Chains A and B, each alone.
Chain A
Amino acid sequence: MINPKTQNKIAIGTLYGVAGLVVLILMALLGYILISGLPQLSWHFLTAPAKAFLKGGGVGIQLYNSFYLLILAMLISFPIALGAAIYLYEYAKDNWVTTTIRTAIEILSSLPSVVVGLFGFLFFVVKLNLGFSILSGAFALTFFNLPLLTRSIEDSLRTIDTTQREGGLALGLSRWETVTRVILPAAVPSILTGVILSAGRVFGEAAALIYTAGQSAPALDFTDWNPFNISSPLNPMRPAETLAVHIWKINSEGIMPDAKAISSGSSAVLVLAILLFNFAARYLGKRLYKRLTSA
C-alpha cells in the first residue's frame, strides 16, 4: 500500500496529464482544420460554383444553400418550438399526458439524424412528391431541430422569475397575455442565444439532408429572384446541396481532383461559421440583456 499522500500526488499528476492530453487533441483538431483550411479561402472559393471534374471550383452555391436552408428551417421550427415550450412550461399540468409528451420529445432528440433524414426522404421526397428539394430538406432539419430548440426555449422561460407571471395575472391578464407580453420579451436575450446555438448545429448537419435536400447544386442565377423560376436562388423546390453535404459527397465520390483542398476550405468555413454563431450568441445575448435591464 502506497502512502495516501504519494497516491494523491500520483493521481492528481495523472489527471493533469489526462486533461492536458485532451486539450492537446482538441487543439490539434481545431488547428488542423484552420491551418489546412484557411489558405484555401478566397473570394473566388466562397462565391464560384463547384466544378465536378476540374480543379479550381468554389463552394458559392453550397454556401448560399446552407444559409437558405438554415433560415427556412429556423422559420418553420421556431414558432413550433416556441408554442410547444410555452405549453410545456406555462400550461402543462404534472400528469401522465405531460410525461408522455416529454418522453416523445426526448425520443425525437435522441434519434440519429440519419433516421430523421430517411423519414424525410420517405415522407416528403417520396410520399408528398416534393422531390429532393430545399423544402424537403428544411422539414427534415426542422424535425432534427425541434426537440433541442423546444428544450432551450423552455429553459429560457424557466429563467424568468415566477413573480413576473404573478404580476401579470394579478392585473387581470390571462396567462397567455402574461407570457407573450411580459415573459417572452424578458426572455428574449436567452431565447436568442439558444436559437443561434441551435442554428450552428443545423448549419453543419448533413446526414439529415443527403436524401432530402439532395446532393446536387444546380446553377443559380443570382439576378432572378422569382421563387417560381427553377434557377432562382429563392426557389424552394430545387435540389440544394449544402456545404456540409458537399464535403461528404466529394470525399465519398472521389472524382474531384482537388477534393481535399476544397474539403479543407469548406471545413474551415463551417467551423468558422459555427465559431461566429457561438460568439454572436454570447455577445447578442449579453448585449440585449444589458439593454433590457439598464436605464
Chain B
Amino acid sequence: MFLSNDITQNTEMLDRHVVQPADPQHPTILSTEDLHVYYGKKEAIAEGDLRFASNQITALIGPSGSGKSTFLRSLNRMNDRIATVTGRIMYRGVDINQPDIDVYEMRRRVGMVFQRPNPFAKSIYDNIAFALRLRGVTDKHALDEIVETSLKQAALWNQVKDDLNKSALALSGGQAQRLCIARAIAVKPDILLLDEPASALDPVSTSQLEDTLLELKQHYSIIIVTHNMQQAGRISEYTAFFNQGRVLEYDTTSHIFTNPQVQVTSDYVSGNFG
C-alpha cells in the first residue's frame, strides 16, 4: 500500500483522537463511542469516536473506501441489514444503537439525503407530503404549509410552486436533490446526514446546494460526507479525516486544513494523495 511504516505508527497514536466541540453555544448532539462496523467478518470501521456539534456542519472526508459513508450510514442505522454495528451512538444522551430502539422514530429525527437524488415516482407535492400523511397529518392546510416551508428552506419553492402536481422525476438533478432535502426536513428531523449529496451535480447546482446547507444549519445539525476538499473547507465548521476505516484526525476545519497533525491528512487535503 501507499502508507509507509512510520505513518502507520502515527495512525495508531492518533486513532482515539476525539474533539469536544469547543463552543458552548453548540453542545454535542450526537456522539459515537467505541463504534465498530463489520461486514461479515471484515471490519470496516474500527473505533470511530466522534462528537458532533449541534447546529453546525461537520464534514467527513477521506479517500474512497475509507469508511466515511459506512460510518455515516451507521449513525441512523441504515446499515442494519447488511452490517453489524457495535458500540454506542449517543443521541441527546440516549444510545440509539440499542436493539429496543424504534429505528423508525429514530430515523425521523436523524434524517438522511443520499448521493444520487432519489425522488419518488410521485408528484412534487406528494414526495414531501407522503411521509407526513403516513404519520397521520391529514389536514390539507397543515400539509400545504409544511410543503411550502420545506421547499422554501430547501430553496426550491420559487422554481416549483406552480408545478407542485407535476412528477418529481421530471426535475433536473440539482432540483431533485433539493427536493430530497425538502422531503427529509419535512418530517422535522433534528440531525441531517448527507452522503456526498453534490457528487452527481454540476458546479452551479453544487454551489446552490452549499448555500442551502449553510442556511439549514440554523435549524438542523448537519453531518456531510464529501470527497470534495474545497466543499468541506467552504461549508463545514468541523472536519473528520477517515482513512482505512479509522478516524485519523478530527478538528475544526480550519485546523485540519492549515495545520494537519498527520502526514496522510496533510497529503490528502493538499491533493498529493494516492
A and B: direct contact (Cβ < 8 Å)?
A: yes
Instruction: List the interface of chain A (C-beta within 8 A of B).
Output: 161, 163-164, 166-174, 177, 181-182, 185-186, 292-295
How far is A163 from B113 in the complex, measured between Cα atoms in Å?
Answer: 10
Cβ contacts A to B, 14 pairs, < 8 Å: A164-B118, A166-B112, A167-B118, A169-B107, A170-B113, A171-B183, A171-B187, A172-B131, A172-B187, A182-B121, A292-B167, A293-B167, A293-B170, A294-B170
Q: Which residue of A lies closest to B165 (CB)?
A: A295
| Contact assessment for B166 and A161 in the assembled complex, using a CB-CB cutoff below 8 Å | no
Q: Which residue of A lies closest to B132 (CB)?
A: A171
How far is A166 from B114 in the complex, measured between Cα atoms in Å?
Answer: 8
Indicate whether A185 sits within 8 Å of B122 (C-beta atoms), given known contacts A172-B107, A294-B170.
yes
Indicate whether A292 sits within 8 Å of B121 (C-beta atoms), given known contacts A171-B131, A172-B131.
yes
How far is A295 from B119 in the complex, measured between Cα atoms in Å?
Answer: 14
B134: Cβ under 8 A from any A Cβ: yes
The distance from the CB of A165 to the nearest CB of chain B, in whole angstroms, is 9
Indicate whether A169 sits within 8 Å of B130 (C-beta atoms), given known contacts A185-B121, A294-B170.
no
15 A-B pairs besides A170-B113, A295-B170 with CB distance below 8 A are A163-B118, A166-B112, A166-B118, A167-B114, A167-B118, A169-B107, A171-B108, A171-B131, A171-B184, A173-B131, A173-B134, A174-B104, A182-B122, A292-B121, A295-B163
Q: Which residue of B lies closest to A177 (CB)?
A: B134
Q: Which residue of B lies closest to A170 (CB)?
A: B112
Q: Which residue of B lies closest to A163 (CB)?
A: B118
| Contact assessment for B120 and A186 in the assembled complex, using a CB-CB cutoff below 8 Å | yes
What 5 A-B pairs are tightest by C-beta distance, nearest first? A172-B108, A163-B118, A170-B112, A186-B121, A295-B166
* Chain A residues whose CB sits within 8 angstroms of the CB of B120 once the complex forms: 164, 167-168, 182, 186
* Chain B residues whose CB sits within 8 angstroms of the CB of A171 once the complex forms: 107-108, 111, 131, 183-184, 187
Instruction: List the interface of chain B (C-beta within 8 A of A).
Output: 76, 78, 104-108, 111-114, 116, 118-122, 130-131, 134, 163, 166-167, 169-170, 180, 183-184, 187
Indicate whether A161 sits within 8 Å of B118 (C-beta atoms), given known contacts A181-B134, A293-B169.
yes
The distance from the CB of B262 to the nearest CB of chain A, in whole angstroms, is 32
The distance from the CB of A111 to the nearest CB of chain B, in whole angstroms, is 34
How far is A183 from B112 in the complex, measured between Cα atoms in Å?
Answer: 19
How far is A293 from B168 in the complex, measured between Cα atoms in Å?
Answer: 8
* Chain B residues whose CB sits within 8 angstroms of the CB of A185 once the complex forms: 121-122
Q: Which residue of A lies closest to B133 (CB)?
A: A181
Q: Which residue of B lies closest to A165 (CB)?
A: B118
How far is A164 from B76 in the complex, measured between Cα atoms in Å?
Answer: 17
Q: Find the residue from A168, A173, A293 having the highest chain B CB count within 10 A.
A: A173
| Contact assessment for A172 and B105 in the assembled complex, using a CB-CB cutoff below 8 Å | yes
| Contact assessment for A295 and B167 in the assembled complex, using a CB-CB cutoff below 8 Å | yes
* Chain A residues whose CB sits within 8 angstroms of the CB of B116 once the complex forms: 163
* Chain B residues whose CB sits within 8 angstroms of the CB of A164 once the complex forms: 118, 120-121
* Chain A residues whose CB sits within 8 angstroms of the CB of B121 once the complex forms: 164, 182, 185-186, 292-293
* Chain A residues whose CB sits within 8 angstroms of the CB of B104 once the complex forms: 172-174
Q: Which residue of A lies closest to B171 (CB)?
A: A295
The distance from the CB of A49 to the nearest CB of chain B, in whole angstroms, is 47
* Chain A residues whose CB sits within 8 angstroms of the CB of B187 once the complex forms: 171-172
